[in-house]
Amino acid sequence: MIRRFYIGVLAAWIGAGTALAERPEFLAKRDPAQVRLLCYNVNWDSIFPDDDPLNHKWRKYNCAAAFVRVLKAVAPDVVCLQEINQTRPVQQVATILNRAVPVDPDDDSRLWQAYLGQDNVIAARWPLKMTASDTSPPTDRGHAMALVDLPDDRYAADLYVIDAHFKSGGGAENIARRVKHADAIVQWIRDARTAGGNIDLPARTPIVICGDMNVYDNDARRHLFTLVSGDVADEQAFGADILPDWDNTVMGDVLPSHNARGAEHWTWRDDTTKFNPGPLDHVVYTDSVLRVAHAFVLDTTMLSDAELQAAGLEKGDVALDLAKGEFDHLPIVVDFVVPGRGEGEAGAAKRGDGRR
């Protein structure tokens, strides 16, 4: 009787501890068929060891351990990084992913695939096709672009991804360069949607444009407007305006909140400067064939100690120097419903009745 009593108390204690140790709900992907995208400016090679000879000359911080913890916590399917030294073998990024979030822990032959263009890396659990590092006509800054070859037995379409890092800085010259980058991407999408030219995508292929777009609160944000609306600024160089989505409408723009818990939407912050926090990073997508099931900006500083422990994270994992208030960019996570085989949630996106 006494033994049964203590077993019952122990079971209750373990059960209570388990409840306290549950991962934060916002980290969960609602459906395994959804495709989880992580978009993250990692601050110039901070995810690599200090002694790596290929670290960028601007590298200042070591966030390698924090990056691995973030990967394990969010378990992405597609990763878009910015500020990776373009002289670096992209396999180094794939190696980090293979170790942190293996494609299949029971099958060493299934590995992450990665492609680098400019300082941007696209990596995926599936093969990458149609890779390209610049638009046509080109600009002074390329991108990483690839078609993620999703499994045919699950999805009715693949996913085309453009990972961009727009020119930073204020002033008319930098603003004009950002607008030019956006014009070139819209022209690339026009080419992808029409036969011939440099790229042809099958009709209704989902498209995502993401990255550090440097959307400041003190300029006109014309480049973001161009990406979403298809309104080309320089039509002589990049062609006429288009409605960029497959149904001839504007694109969707994901504006997730911190930990999906409120009104904070900024993705960049540095309290050591005079600049305001702001949503510099964006995820733009063809919302006629994609639906956002869930999205958030990961902010570890807002999590309780119990939540951090349960998620395997630390308070300062999204900061460069938390004590000084240096944050740089925060990770964006988006769960997409991709057109699928059969009915259900993915089928709804394919029929176009899941617009957001």
Q: What is the CATH number of the domain that holds 311?
A: 3.60.10.10
- Is the predicted pLDDT of residue 344 greater than 60, yes or no? no
Please report whether residue 179 resides in a domain: yes
pLDDT confidence bin for 342, thresholds 50/70/90: low
Model pLDDT for residues 236-269, shown as the tens digit of each residue: 999 999 999 999 999 999 999 999 998 899 999 9
Q: Give burial (CB, 10 Å; 0-12/13-18/19+) of 322.
A: middle
Strand order from edge to edge, sheet including 128-132: 128-132, 144-148, 159-165, 207-212, 281-285, 252-254
Supply the mean pLDDT for the chain.
Answer: 91
> Does residue 13 have a pLDDT over 80?
no
Q: Is the pLDDT of residue 184 over 70?
A: yes
Any alpha helices (H) in the chain, and if so which ranges?
2-20, 64-74, 91-100, 172-193, 222-229, 235-238, 305-311, 345-351
One-letter amino acid for residue 314 of the chain: E
**Residue 5 pLDDT:** 37
Q: What is the per-residue pLDDT for 354?
A: 34
pLDDT band for 17, please (50, 70, 90 cuts): very low
**Over residues 108-130, mean pLDDT:** 97
AA letter at 41: N
User: How many distinct structural domains can be found in the chain?
Assistant: 1
Residue 52 burial (10 A CB sphere; 0-12, 13-18, 19+): middle
What is the spatial distance between Cα 305 and Cα 88, in angstroms, rounded to a whole number? 36
pLDDT at 110: 94
Helix (H, G, I), strand (E, B) or coil at 175: helix
Lowest average pLDDT, out of 19-23, 216-220, 302-306, goes to: 19-23
Quick one: pLDDT band at residue 343, thresholds 50, 70, 90? Answer: very low
Whether 356 is covered by a domain: the verdict is: no
Lowest mean pLDDT among 208-212, 287-291, 340-344: 340-344
Which pLDDT score, from 0 to 100, does residue 219 have? 87
Residue 74 lies in a domain: yes
Distance CA 209, CA 162 (A): 5
The answer to the question of residue 302 being in a domain is yes
Residue 88 has pLDDT above 70, yes or no: yes
**Measuring CA to CA, which residue among 311, 325, 316 is closest to residue 268?**
325
Please tell me the pTM assigned to this model: 0.90
Lowest pLDDT segment from 18-22, 35-39, 96-100, 196-200: 18-22
Residue (of 231, 208, 347, 341) closest to 281 by Cα position: 208
- Region of poorest pLDDT, from 92-96, 227-231, 259-263, 350-354: 350-354
- Determine if the peptide bond prior to 127 is cis (ω within 30°): no
Enclosing domain of residue 295: 2-351
Instruction: Say what the pLDDT of residue 20 is.
Output: 52
pLDDT of 56: 97
User: Around Cβ 61, how many Cβ atoms within 10 Å?
Assistant: 17
Q: Is the pLDDT of residue 221 over 80?
A: yes
Q: In this prediction, what percent of the chain has a pLDDT beyond 70? A: 90
44-53, 63-72, 88-97, 100-109 — which is least confidently predicted?
Answer: 100-109
